[in-house]
Amino acid sequence: MIPRVKGTQDFLDLTVFNFVIDEIKKHLTTYHFSEIKTPILESVDLFKRSLGLYTQVVSKEMFLIHPPTPFALGSAEGGKKEAICLRPEATAPTVRAFIENNIQLLPWKVFSYGPMFRYERPQKGRYRQFHQINIEVIGSDSIAQDVQFIKMLDRFFHETLKMNNYALLINFLGCFDDRKAYELLLKDFLEGPKGQHICVQCHDRKERNIMRVFDCKNPQCQEIYRQAPTIVDQLCADCAAEWQQLQDLLRLLSISHAHRPTLVRGLDYYHKTVFEFVSPQLGAQDAFCGGGRYNQLVGQLGGKEDQSSIGAAIGIERLLLLLEPFKDQLPLPQPPALHVILPLSTGQHTLALLLADTLQAQDICIDVLFEGSIKSMMRKTNKMGAAFALIIGQSEQDTKTVMVKNMVTGEEKRVAQTEVADYLKG
């Protein structure tokens, strides 16, 4: 057997997965978002430019696609090789689509969902192919927008999915200048006496992408970072006012949250508001949704002018892990009642086909068992959870009837073939 690729999963029952997708679609429609779909294949440069060269995702986790051979490319492309990859996230592709399709009506409120790919070390809740629901508002600068956005997510988790065991962590990274000034301050701190005890990886991060040190899981490093200066204490006057406004509005809308000064999120493009929804039930990979404001990404990716924007990604696999213990309490769609036709010999196969076709055309859920003895077919029908077995032998064929067996009560009734549909519909 050739096993599945490491870090990927087979989904054999999509009931809860599809429920989440259906519900988020309804929910986001209420907030006036529309659905889009962008390709899974994107140019490597898109992520180098947006996420930053020194982020973990770009430097270590990209699934690069080997360019096809010049022969396969054909003469039309003149052998030009474009470096492409499987998308690791969906914000940069959404921004690319915004620019490329010359969207004029702002804010552009869109969402998409689908698989993402990162070459990470697989563990519980961390896969190499995973799914995200991605939500973006491009072209809105207001802090009130951030609050509405966070409320929308919180309401989805709490009210639609009935989740309780989670927390919302927020931080405020200030504007570009604040972030730059803070990075210098943090560097000073880490080059002082306390910084001597950080781990080797953090030393490396300090040089390449200093805010990422906060993502280190090493307890000794974490203890040191608790004593580090915090960015919210270094904000310019405008950002300080916005940070205050953000907290006030979150409180006004009764959104419980905690300030986490070390929450910076892994990617380079965030400014101002950043947030994560976390749950202790998830263990080490505790975030099931993360996002924030990115005000310079549109310009960075070639847009005519910058557009202040905010976005978030919900990790579907982690959401499914959280929903698993109480999924029976969710209003999941019920599959329709199943009825199984049992032709007793090959002589009744044609009749079984015709009967199935007539019933299926009336939206009655029908399966037909073409193989096995009556005993084994009945056993299978039972295991399939059928409501009725529709038995057709020679005598039923001759009399244009069907023997209908109620699989719960065991009661049997001979019904005219022309009346089976009405009988099943009750």
* List of residues contacting ligand AMP (CB under 6 A): 89, 118, 120, 125-127, 130, 132, 266, 287-290, 313, 315, 317-318
- Report the residue closest to ligand AMP, judged by CB: 315
DSSP H helices in 75-135: 91-100
Minimum CB separation of residue 344 from ligand AMP in Å reads 50
Minimum CB separation of residue 406 from ligand AMP in Å reads 45
Nearer to ligand AMP among residue 120 and residue 306 (C-beta): 120
Is residue 136 within 8 A of residue 94, CB to CB? The reply is yes
Minimum CB separation of residue 118 from ligand AMP in Å reads 5
Minimum CB separation of residue 139 from ligand AMP in Å reads 21
Residues 57, 59, 63, 67: what is their CA dihedral angle, to the nearest 10 degrees?
140
Locus of tokens 């003469």: 75
Nearer to ligand AMP among residue 31 and residue 63 (C-beta): 63
Distance between CA atoms of 209 and 266, rounded to whole angstroms?
A: 9
Nearer to ligand AMP among residue 63 and residue 423 (C-beta): 63
Minimum CB separation of residue 89 from ligand AMP in Å reads 5
Nearer to ligand AMP among residue 121 and residue 383 (C-beta): 121
Minimum CB separation of residue 317 from ligand AMP in Å reads 5
167 bridge partner residues: 278
For the sheet containing 412-416, what is the strand order?
A: 365-368, 338-343, 388-392, 401-406, 412-416
- Cα 318 to Cα 17, 165, 315, 376: the distances in Å are 11, 13, 6, 40
Nearer to ligand AMP among residue 268 and residue 317 (C-beta): 317
341 bridge partner residues: 368, 390
Nearer to ligand AMP among residue 37 and residue 81 (C-beta): 37
Nearer to ligand AMP among residue 89 and residue 178 (C-beta): 89
Minimum CB separation of residue 290 from ligand AMP in Å reads 4
Minimum CB separation of residue 251 from ligand AMP in Å reads 24
Nearest to 98 by CA among 307, 337, 334: 307
Residues 77, 79, 83, 86: what is their CA dihedral angle, to the nearest 10 degrees?
60
Nearer to ligand AMP among residue 98 and residue 388 (C-beta): 98
Nearer to ligand AMP among residue 127 and residue 388 (C-beta): 127
Distance between CA atoms of 227 and 264, rounded to whole angstroms?
A: 16
Distance between CA atoms of 216 and 226, rounded to whole angstroms?
A: 12
Minimum CB separation of residue 56 from ligand AMP in Å reads 9
Nearest to 42 by CA among 72, 64, 59, 69: 64
Locus of tokens 């799914």: 131
Distance between CA atoms of 407 and 339, rounded to whole angstroms?
A: 9
The residue ranges of DSSP E strands in 90-249, in sequence order, are 108-117, 129-138, 167-172
Distance between CA atoms of 22 and 160, rounded to whole angstroms?
A: 11
